[in-house]
Amino acid sequence: MKVPETPAEYRAMRAKSKPEGASVALVAVWLALALGLFALNGWLLMIVVGGIHAAVPAIPAIGYGTALLVLLAARLLRGPRRTGGKA
């Protein structure tokens, strides 16, 4: 890849490259999706534990915040994910 020597060459090279707005928007969408799924998982965990609590009163019911903290702890204990993608 050639290094631009003048500002005009730099602007021409930037115009040919992929616009940054698209990548920023993609990151924002993925972040919103990840946070939304995390919140949904916390809600589902709270509902499941509440259902178990209704059947077995010895098991304490947990709230939404506790469910999120349990999920966060589980993800931290799990460690980083290994994907099959290229390095």
Whether 11 is covered by a domain: the verdict is no
Whether 10 is covered by a domain: the verdict is no
CA gap 28, 31 in Å, rounded: 5
Whether 4 is covered by a domain: the verdict is no
Whether 64 is covered by a domain: the verdict is yes
Instruction: Kindly report the number of other CB atoms within 10 A of residue 23's CB atom.
Output: 10
Whether 20 is covered by a domain: the verdict is no
Residue 1 near residue 17 (C-beta atoms within 8 A): no
Instruction: Quote the distance between the C-alpha of residue 43 and its chain's center.
Output: 16
Whether 69 is covered by a domain: the verdict is yes
For the question of whether the overall pTM of this predicted structure is more than 0.75, the answer is no
What total of structural domains would you count in the chain?
A: 1
In this predicted model, what pLDDT tens digit does every residue of 13-63 receive, in sequence order? 777 766 666 688 888 999 999 999 999 999 999 999 999 999 999 999 999
Whether 71 is covered by a domain: the verdict is yes
Domain region containing 48: 38-79
